Amino acid sequence: MTSPADEPKPAAPAAPAAEGAAPAGDEQDDLAAEWEAMVGEGEEGAPAGAPRESTRVLNQEEIDSLLGFDEEHEEGGEKSGIQAILSSALVSYERLPMLEVVFDRLVRLMSTSLRNFTSDNVEVSLDNIASIRFGDYLNSIPLPAMLSVFKAEEWDNFGLITVDSSLIYSIVDVLLGGRRGTAAMRIEGRPYTTIERSLVERMVHVMLSDLSSAFEPLSPVTFRFDRLETNPRFATISRPSNAAIVTRLRIDMEDRGGRLELLLPYATLEPVRELLLQMFMGEKFGRDSIWETHLAEELWMTEVDLEAVVDQQTMRLSDVFNLKVGSRIMFSATPDSLVSLRCGDVAMYTGKMGRKGKKIAIKIEEKIEKAPRT
């Protein structure tokens, strides 16, 4: 009787086969190691055969920095991350140097006009000029406010003037004889009265007249008041995604005052874009009048060759090849036929052939007028 330990093991016959398969397994391990090395040699310098660690989760500060909501960048006025990408379309818009000159002129004109309008000491200052999308601007308007829509007649487009509540109540207080040294009283939560709207509309008319005068040296334009709105939704003059230029003005009347914003879409300024691109008034974008005059004078002294064409004939190529010494080509021209004078391929004059001394001459009869290009 044999014990279970003495019985033959079933795995013993398979041993040679396993030993024969060992080289194939080593080959696969080598390929896997090479693949790990190509991918990245594991996580943070780990051995090739080591298992890779799971992806690290970003903390809140890193997420804010990636999206562009970093507080440090916001304080400095700079945008980063995804917000910088979204705002890059506005950055790509070209600067308009002459527009700054126009608005500086507007500030000087408004200072004088508003002093005459209010009979008070008025100081107008320019805060900043910025580019913004029209939809973002409408969403950023602090309510309550009055929005005046005006039209540029010659440019056939619209603009927007926003008057904040502080300036509205200050203008009403000044025009209706309010005491100096006391702040304008504000009553929030009610619609503007007819008197308030009329007084603000009169101030807008004064500003539009000054704006027309500011643009006059550059390009004559008439800004006409169109309507007055208190709801930004009804003051939509452009698509929300379109870019516009916003100019923020500060109007101070001793201890009273407020802000006024002028919005001009880029589409409105398109007819005078080339003029606004100038660095100074009258710039000719690289043109040199002295060089142009010199070039014109030299062109008048240029020598050109004129060819007198007596006749033209169309012949077959085989006939041309058959021409020999002594062959004759009969012209259809007569002594009285007109001869064409050409400069290159351009026919300039027609005339009659004659003789002057020992030389053949052409007497010009008429000039060939060029047909206008269509």
pLDDT in tens, 229-279: 888 888 888 888 888 899 999 998 877 888 899 999 988 888 888 888 877
Q: Is 218 exposed, middle or buried (CB count within 10 Å of its CB: 0-12, 13-18, 19+)?
A: middle
- What is the distance between the alpha carbons of residues 261 and 240, in angstroms, rounded to a whole number? 18
- pTM > 0.75: no
- For 293-348, the pLDDT digits (tens) are 888 888 888 888 888 888 888 889 998 898 899 888 888 877 788 888 888 888 88
The answer on pLDDT for 75 being more than 90 is: no
- What is the distance between the alpha carbons of residues 340 and 93, in angstroms, rounded to a whole number? 56
The answer on pLDDT for 365 being more than 70 is: yes
pLDDT band at 80; cut points 50, 70, 90: low
- For 143-180, the pLDDT digits (tens) are 788 899 999 998 889 999 999 888 888 888 888 877 66
Give the Cβ contact number of residue 228 at 10 Å: 18
**What residues contact 219, with CB distance under 8 A and at least 6 apart?**
154, 271, 272, 275
The pLDDT score that the predictor gives to residue 183 is: 57
Asked if residues 243 and 145 have their Cβ atoms less than 8 Å apart, the reply is no
The closest of 192, 190, 174, 191 to 182, measured between CA atoms, is 174
CA distance to 126, 131, 141, 195, 259, per residue, from 77 (Å): 19, 14, 19, 40, 21
The pLDDT score that the predictor gives to residue 149 is: 92
Mean pLDDT of the chain: 78
The pLDDT score that the predictor gives to residue 88 is: 53
The pLDDT score that the predictor gives to residue 263 is: 92
pLDDT band at 12; cut points 50, 70, 90: very low
- For 105-144, the pLDDT digits (tens) are 999 999 999 999 888 888 899 888 888 888 888 888 887 8
CA distance to 75, 196, 305, per residue, from 165 (Å): 27, 11, 78
| Average pLDDT score over residue span 350-374 | 82
Asked if residues 237 and 160 have their Cβ atoms less than 8 Å apart, the reply is yes
CA angle 154, 269, 280 (to 5 degrees): 105
Instruction: Enter the tokens of residue 344.
Output: 């290159």
The answer on pLDDT for 37 being more than 70 is: no
Instruction: Enter the tokens of residue 168.
Output: 């509205």
Residue 364 vs residue 285, higher pLDDT: 364
Q: Which domains does the chain have, with CATH numbers?
A: 91-276 (3.40.1550.10), 297-312+334-374 (no CATH)
The pLDDT score that the predictor gives to residue 207 is: 92
The pLDDT score that the predictor gives to residue 253 is: 85
